[in-house]
Chain A
Amino acid sequence: MDAIFLQFLNGLDKGGAYALIALGLTLVFGTLGVVNFAHGALFMLGAFCAVTLRKILTMQKVVLDEENLTAWGTPTEIRTTYVETWFGDFGTQLVNYSVPLAILLAIPVMLVVGVVMERGLIKHFYRRPHAEQILVTFGLAIVLQEIIKHYFGANPIPQPMPSNLAGAADIGVMMGMDPNIIVYPWWRLVYFAFSVIVIGAVFAFLQFTTFGMVVRAGMADRETVGLIGIDIDKRFTAMFGLAAVVAGVAGVMYTPLLPPDYHLGMDFLVLTFVVVVVGGMGSLPGAVLAGFMLGILQSFASMTEIKAIIPGIDQIIIYLVAVIILLVRPRGLLGRKGVMES
């Protein structure tokens, strides 16, 4: 029982990441009808926003101390971080919380990236076949990841989480069990909570604001909304920006769990595509549901007991589910009837 609960928890953070990326992917597909293979790259760009912010915050001033020589006879270097000299303890805290703070950097950056991407390239592909959309966004993804590789190198760059969230929570005790049965890293819980909040915010935005209502109307019937005199294209562009922001902040918060490198986006992209297909192309609740479901499923499949029965199942479970879903129920779990069903 405990083991099962633990695996369930283990799946939540990865599921959260899948859900967030899949949400953006679905949003773009639902509004603009574009299959965006560069969406994983946006996740990766978000992660590198965190890397950049930390680099800026930890910039150091090097003073050579001629009095004290090191064992090699060179002057000792005294390194002081700028922020710490300027702000003292507050500066130390800034560095400590660099990952969550990076969200503030990622939001404007990703918004700009998203809007530029949509206006600059993707808008020319609305009326072209899906195959060409896939191809051009695939090319774009390569370009983005290679630019990142050029500036940040090919190796993963670990990002520490805030020190007071670095430990593990003893959830078992909270639930009245003995200590040390269910121990779970704090940051994963934070990531799960964060993904739930972001998903909730996106849904609330679509459901309760006029802007969101217009967008939903546009998703249902683009032409009629256009005929009423609403510039639906502008709103859809904004939705692309929103999708980019969601993917970006998802990437920022994921950095302590997985050191980002330039092909992080590609690794996640294939999986999220599968998630979107399982959830139902164009269905937002479907994307979220399938994201968490597949995350949890993957975590269960990596249990040693299950791997003993079916070796290698943890590597392929997600793809296997996708194949079964596509063959049995092609519109996905919550997909609308007739959407891409042929």
Chain B
Amino acid sequence: MNFQGIFSMSRKDLTTLVIFSIVVLALPIWLQPFGAAYPDLMQKFAIFGILAIGFNILFGLTGYLSFGHAAFLGVGSYTAVWTFKLFSMNPIPALIFAVILSGLFALLIGYVSLRRSGIYFSILTLAFAQMSYNLAYSVLTPITNGETGLQLEAGDPRVLDSMFVAEEAGLPVSNFFGIEMSGIPGFYFCAIFLILGFFITQRIFASPFGMMLRGIKSNQTRMNYTGFNTRPYTLTAFVISGMYAGLAGGLMAVTDPLAGAERMQWTASGEIVLMTILGGVGTLVGPVIGAWLIKYFENIFSSFNESVLHNLFGFLPDGVEGFVVELTSMFVGEGWHLTLGLVFVLVVTFLPGGMMEGYRRITTLFTGGGGDGDKKAKADDTQTQPAE
């Protein structure tokens, strides 16, 4: 592909990309009123955005539901921390290694898992992820440092760094040619990767390769009959999506040089699926929105505790207040996962297309839905009866 080819985007795509970049880069500004404009959270926004975008390439385009994506995240994190320990605190080599290694890992797992489809694929990926998790906790302890998690140590060799920079006291912080990768610079570093990741996804969505993947999702048998061997395509999608997860894992290690096995647990994979579904599977920006919403509300909800609630509902009469606080305390703080689970059940039941479908439904509602008759009928078709 020549230089021009890469940038020959449709006007719509270009607008989306520009708007997306502005929104991402301006996060520290527009998150102020929401009280979420502090670096740790925004770094998470960017990292989980990358993760969800990558997962969407696989699930959104091909329809293969992987329940083992957290394994790639873990591999990325471990690789990055090891690169820090052995070579240099510069994040670039760490990320390169993280992406390559998680890509190889995805190639291995994908090669086996993609021989099956549907629920069998989900269970195979789940089995592989659980295997990695169990091994990371037990036999691979020399590499992963087991339950404690892999950390930087003062005695690490750091071959490249020690050649150029004098050893300082204390643990080093990852730095990009002198800029420390924490706080706001850390966020912008991650944000650039998010935008880059978004751009690549856009290109994949618009490419013949993306069309092929969508064909596989809608009818794999027909694709086979037309003479396509679908497996190389799905495998490529799987590997790309694994590399995104590896990149996200690497960035986690860059912003906080620590890797633990719990990152690979299957509930972590479930969280990735959740983000993608909540935002909107198969859409470009949906997964990012999903990731942001979940991370934002996780942050808000888990910071609530009884005293905050008492303040909040202080205006109510005593008896009622006690009851309301008791009830709501189930859903906040420690119980944040309950809220998450409920929201998830509701979204899958009523709005399988996630936030993006909700948005579309609302716009069709207001524009009268003229000319969208087919689409609307289809939307009504997929809609199910209320659960209660």
Contact = CB atoms under 8 A, between A and B. Distances in A.
B148 interface: no
Contacts, number: 124
Given A131-B65, A270-B266, A319-B131, A136 B119 contact: no
Given A131-B63, A270-B266, A316-B134, A340 B123 contact: no
B338 A146 contact: yes
Contact of B135 (A125, A150, A277, A316): A316
Contacts of B270: 138, 142
A138 B120 CA distance: 16
A147 B338 contact: yes
A28 interface: no
Contact of A323 (B128, B267, B352): B128
A316 B273 CA distance: 24
Interface stretch (B76-84, B87-95, B339-347): B339-347
Interface in A219-274: 266, 270, 273-274
B112 interface: yes
Contact of B124 (A125, A131, A143, A326): A326
A143 B342 contact: yes
B221 to A, nearest CB: 9
B355 to A, nearest CB: 15
A312 interface: yes
A212 to B, nearest CB: 26
Nearest to A120: B387
A142 B338 contact: yes
Interface in A41-56: none
Interface in B4-28: none
B266 A327 contact: no
Contacts of B330: 147, 150
Given A139-B345, A142-B337, A342 B118 contact: yes
B340 A130 contact: no
B119 A142 contact: no
Given A130-B118, A130-B119, A146-B335, A120 B388 contact: yes
Contacts of A141: 341
B123 A274 contact: yes
Contacts of A326: 115-116, 120, 123-124
Contact of B126 (A143, A147, A273, A327): A273
B138 interface: yes
A337 interface: no
Max chain B C-beta neighbours (<10 A), residue from A132, A135, A140:
A135
Contacts of B120: 277, 326, 330, 340
Contacts of A35: 119
Contacts of A342: 116-118
A142 B270 CA distance: 10
Contacts of B345: 121, 136, 139-140, 143
A322 interface: yes
Given A274-B127, A323-B112, A142 B266 contact: no
Nearest to A313: B139
Nearest to B65: A131
Contact of A273 (B115, B116, B123): B123
Max chain A C-beta neighbours (<10 A), residue from B119, B330, B334:
B119
Interface in A130-160: 130-132, 134-136, 138-143, 146-147, 149-150, 154
Given A121-B345, A135-B348, A319 B65 contact: no
Contacts of B123: 273-274, 277, 322, 326
Nearest to B336: A146
Contacts of B119: 35, 130, 134, 281, 340
Interface residues of B, number: 47
B127 A146 contact: no
B130 interface: yes
Contact of A142 (B126, B341, B388): B341
Nearest to A122: B387
Nearest to B59: A131
B122 A134 contact: yes
B352 A270 contact: no
Nearest to B137: A315
B349 interface: yes
Contacts of A139: 274, 341-342, 344-345, 348
Nearest to B385: A124
Contact of B341 (A131, A134, A140, A330): A140
Given A270-B130, A273-B126, A315-B139, A135 B387 contact: no
A320 interface: yes
B128 to A, nearest CB: 7
B139 A135 contact: no
A146 B348 contact: no
A108 interface: no
Contacts of A150: 330, 334-335, 338
B186 to A, nearest CB: 31
B367 interface: no
B134 to A, nearest CB: 4
B384 interface: yes
A167 interface: no
Contacts of B134: 312, 315-316, 319
Contacts of A322: 123-124, 127
Given A142-B341, A150-B330, A121 B138 contact: no
Contact of B116 (A130, A146, A311, A330): A330
Nearest to B115: A327
Interface string B269-300: 01001100100000000000000000000000
A277 B123 CA distance: 8
Contact of B138 (A146, A149, A315, A319): A315
B273 A135 contact: yes
8 contacts: A146-B341, A150-B334, A266-B267, A270-B126, A277-B123, A319-B128, A322-B123, A342-B118
Q: Which 4 A-B pairs have the closest CB atoms?
A: A312-B139, A142-B341, A139-B344, A146-B338
Given A134-B67, A138-B270, A315-B137, 6 more contacts: A124-B349, A132-B352, A136-B348, A139-B344, A311-B139, A315-B134
